Amino acid sequence: MYTVHRFFSARRMKRPMALWTLCFFVGLMAMGSHTQTVFAHGDGVHAPTKLPACTSRALTCEMPSEVAAQANLPLEMRNCIDGAGAAVDCADVAPFGYFELAWPLLTAANQADWVDGKVIAAATQRDPLFATTCSDGMAGEFPCSQIDLQAFLPLDMFPDAASGNDSWGWTDPATGTEYVLMGLNNGTAFVDISQPESPVIVGMLPTHTVSSSWRDMKVYANYAFIVADLSSDHGLQVFDLTQLRNVDAAAMPVTFAETAYYSEFGDAHNIVINEQSGFAYAVGSDTCRGGLHMINIQDPLHPQFAGCYADDGYTHDARCVIYHGPDLAYNDHEICFNSNEDTVTVVDVSDKAAPKMLSRVATAENHYVHQGWLTEDQRYFLQDDELDELLDKHNTRTYMWDMADLDAPSLVGMYTSALTSTDHNLYVLGSHVFEANYTSGLRVLDLAGLPTGDLQEVAYFDTEPDNDSSRTRSAWNVYPFFKSGSVVVSTITEGLFILKPHLPPEFTLNSDDNLVAICRAEDSESTWQTGLTLTYLNGYSGPQPTVAITEAPTGISSSLIEQPSSAALLASSLSTQETLYTLSAQIPMTASGAFPVQVTATTDAMQQAVQVIFFAADEVPAAVTPQSGTAILPEAKGVFAWQAEQQGLIYEFELAADSEFSHILDMIRTSDTQLTITMQLAAQTEYFWRVRAVNPCGAGPYSAVQSIRTDGSKIFLPIMKQ
């Protein structure tokens, strides 16, 4: 009998406890990334009952006491003082920066009025616009390059809306119809863009409680999941999107009711969904110290609380995936890449009852780590920061992290644009990153130079022509994942833009899994397989790529078979198509070890490659034998080494204070066959270590216990992966 396992392992990393700042960034944050003045109490984050005096860097902002009586406080009444004592127009700092300060003083009835009044005062009202090509750098009144305007729907076309915020998309699997989910202060609108130059507002789901400037939504299994922040216990709305199919055109826009509701948290800043696992993650909520509030949504109408991750405090946004990236130790784990205000924090959430931090990184330039996205091969994480442009006075900056080692990400580089705008949300599709950069709108960057930290802007559409300053208004979100090639941008002050970028046609090749483990219980030969997807982007109409196995090890036979594509993927209205393949490997019953198979998709002009490792093991790996002997002297600087094991993919190293390992000081997993430790060890003390090999089928027995003894002085040894 054979079983196929996904490589599931765990590493424990040591780190200091996160420090909670009691008063930070109030008066500077925008609607897109509010930061409350917070106090940590148990597992919750609570707004203060009265306003403290808060200072952020060299800027102090105070809310006039009249706000309680004057809910519709106009912009000019704000009182800001810079480090030199000079008055500063708060509208030039953040047009909605006082929202958090004022909120505790406002009644629920006044909250919506005050927000709506502010936005109306700040917004420039524009007329609808349709089917406008980008010509001589303009599409109507909007500056552009390589992006046409299919339609612009201003805010006043959405029922009773005063401001916009986030957005997402849904494609009806039965009809191929594409819909935009547009977040508004008073709820969520649903827009049919199957005819992108004639979009239709189908209807509106009102907010569960009160108006809010912060609303976020994602989609799973034909249901929308919607949260809101500072919204009087809004909770999680669940809405059945298939209701959009049968709405009477004459009645549009209709008012919908939520299909289900989840009340285990009140306010939440954002909602993250891993569509592969069926788990949602509410972040920035009033539970879990603002960290990951994990929800099982596999039955969308009956969401179930699954756990908390609160060890690193407030999470502003996250990207959660079933990991198939280059760090094989975490293959098939569920990993969240969290934007945690001051750091990018990588967390293994495979076990919802015991999530584990893997790493926590930031740059000296980071002020508010806001959001980020993985490249399709999960090698790189691109991250934005919402305050660095404002506080450091540099141009729009994108940070690039190499995630080849999830325990130790490294900064590849920082791309700085020619503009001064503040970046907000970004997403990766194929070889491009799509950024919603507030006042400068949509910016599209080519990722070809990513390994060396070099990005290039190749297209843009400016949603606020009046300026490109660091003010936090206009473009909030971009959604580039519609198969038609339409890209939508939701804005705070203007409305909804439906765009058509003209980017170089391309194709991508991705695997469902990059490590397939075959764990044998009896001697037999069998065939194991995984899926590959060839995706055509940007209206690709060139020659069909030749997809073939180009490298395979001796000892196995392998094959690649094209699968029939579904009608929905090849619908004539869609310019983006996918071709599915099954990659198979036949492993002889005597084979063991790793068998990498490379597949390439090739034309005369382009080539894409993907590698899948078929790993065969008869049993768990045997014990490894340390080469270092029975002792390592401090003069050796704590270098531990051992022999490689044929069936071992990683090695689990333990350091203990006793030979029975009842008091383990640290444990680390590594794919190398040596470690250098540099943590502080006590003088004249004996320490013990051992190592074992691990693969997807299990862990082998430990090696013989080895020891070291320090001399009379302390040596500094934190264990680190080389």
CATH of the domain at 302: 2.130.10.10
What is the reported pLDDT for 418? 94
Residue 122 lies in a domain: no
Residue 81 lies in a domain: no
Residue 228 lies in a domain: yes
When pLDDT is cut at 50, 70 and 90, the band that residue 3 belongs to is: very low
When pLDDT is cut at 50, 70 and 90, the band that residue 100 belongs to is: very low
140 and 225, same domain (yes or no): yes
When pLDDT is cut at 50, 70 and 90, the band that residue 718 belongs to is: very low
661 and 539, same domain (yes or no): no
588 and 663, same domain (yes or no): no
What is the reported pLDDT for 360? 95
Q: How far apart are CA 302 and CA 263, in angstroms?
A: 11
485 and 526, same domain (yes or no): no
Which carries the bigger pLDDT value, residue 298 or residue 34?
Answer: 298
Q: How far apart are CA 425 and CA 445, in angstroms?
A: 13
Residue 134 lies in a domain: yes
Task: State the average pLDDT over residues 248-262.
Answer: 97
Which carries the bigger pLDDT value, residue 524 or residue 117?
Answer: 524
Residue 716 confidence (pLDDT) above 70: no
Residues 6+ apart with CB under 8 A from 372: 317, 319, 337, 339, 344, 381, 382, 383, 384, 399, 426
Q: How far apart are CA 15 and CA 303, in angstroms?
A: 33
167: DSSP letter: E
The residue among 487, 503, 519 that closes a domain is 503
Residue 466, class by beta-carbon neighbours within 10 Å (0-12 exposed, 13-18 middle, 19+ buried)? exposed
Residue 446 confidence (pLDDT) above 50: yes
Q: Which domain holds residue 648?
A: 634-720
- Token look-up 């949260």 returns 227
In what helix (H) or strand (E) does residue 112 lie, and over which residues does it extend?
helix 108-122
* Spatial contact of 433 and 372, defined as CB atoms under 8 Å apart: no
The residue among 503, 526, 561 that closes a domain is 503
Q: What is the pLDDT of residues 115-135, one digit of tens each?
A: 444 444 345 678 999 999 999
Task: State the average pLDDT over residues 539-560.
Answer: 92
Residue 602 confidence (pLDDT) above 90: yes
When pLDDT is cut at 50, 70 and 90, the band that residue 54 belongs to is: very low
573 and 589, same domain (yes or no): yes
When pLDDT is cut at 50, 70 and 90, the band that residue 712 belongs to is: low
Question: How many C-alpha atoms does 196 have within 13 Å on its Cβ side?
Answer: 22
What are the structure tokens assigned to 56, written together? Answer: 């952020």
590 and 699, same domain (yes or no): no
Task: State the average pLDDT over residues 205-234.
Answer: 94
Which carries the bigger pLDDT value, residue 565 or residue 506?
Answer: 506
Residue 93 lies in a domain: no
Residue 571 confidence (pLDDT) above 70: no
The residue among 483, 503, 523 that closes a domain is 503
When pLDDT is cut at 50, 70 and 90, the band that residue 647 belongs to is: confident
622: DSSP letter: P
Residue 68 confidence (pLDDT) above 70: no
What is the reported pLDDT for 722? 39
180 and 293, same domain (yes or no): yes
472 and 580, same domain (yes or no): no
483 and 530, same domain (yes or no): no
What is the reported pLDDT for 285? 93
What is the reported pLDDT for 521? 66
* Range from 66-75, 194-203, 422-431 carrying the lowest mean pLDDT: 66-75
What is the reported pLDDT for 649? 86
Residue 373 confidence (pLDDT) above 80: yes
* Range from 138-142, 202-206, 472-476, 624-628 carrying the lowest mean pLDDT: 624-628
Residue 608 confidence (pLDDT) above 50: yes
585 and 642, same domain (yes or no): no
What is the reported pLDDT for 674? 83
Q: How far apart are CA 141 and CA 263, in angstroms?
A: 44
What is the reported pLDDT for 364? 87
CATH number reported for the structural domain that contains residue 583 in this entry? 2.60.40.10
* Range from 427-436, 458-467, 523-532 carrying the lowest mean pLDDT: 523-532
How far is CA 184 from its chain centroid? 22
How far is CA 569 from its chain centroid? 25
Which carries the bigger pLDDT value, residue 36 or residue 568?
Answer: 568
Residue 626 lies in a domain: no
Residue 52 lies in a domain: no
What is the reported pLDDT for 709? 77
* Range from 108-112, 200-204, 538-542, 549-553 carrying the lowest mean pLDDT: 108-112
The CA-CA-CA angle for residues 459, 460, 465, to 5°, reads 155
Residue 563 confidence (pLDDT) above 50: yes
Query: Which pairs from 41-48 meet CB under 8 Å and 24+ separation?
Result: 43/287, 43/288, 43/289, 43/308, 43/310, 44/286, 44/287, 44/289, 45/286, 45/289, 45/290, 45/314, 46/286, 47/100, 47/103, 47/104, 48/104
When pLDDT is cut at 50, 70 and 90, the band that residue 390 belongs to is: confident
What is the reported pLDDT for 24? 27
What is the DSSP secondary-structure string of 613-634? EEEEESSSPPPP-BSSTTB--G
What are the structure tokens assigned to 599, written together? Answer: 């597949």
In what helix (H) or strand (E) does residue 674 lie, and over which residues does it extend?
strand 674-681
Task: State the average pLDDT over residues 295-324.
Answer: 96
Residue 219 confidence (pLDDT) above 80: yes
Which carries the bigger pLDDT value, residue 57 or residue 301?
Answer: 301
Which carries the bigger pLDDT value, residue 117 or residue 675?
Answer: 675
Residue 283 lies in a domain: yes
Task: State the average pLDDT over residues 262-287.
Answer: 96
Q: How far apart are CA 576 and CA 566, in angstroms?
A: 13
Q: Which amino acid is at 340?
A: N
What is the reported pLDDT for 627? 55
* Spatial contact of 524 and 542, defined as CB atoms under 8 Å apart: no
Q: What is the pTM of this model?
A: 0.81
611 and 673, same domain (yes or no): no
607 and 653, same domain (yes or no): no
Summary mean pLDDT of the chain: 80
- Token look-up 């080469």 returns 627
φ, ψ of residue 589 in degrees (nearest 5):
-65, -20
What is the reported pLDDT for 468? 83
DSSP H helical ranges for 571-685: none
What's the total number of domains in the chain?
Answer: 3
* Spatial contact of 613 and 516, defined as CB atoms under 8 Å apart: yes
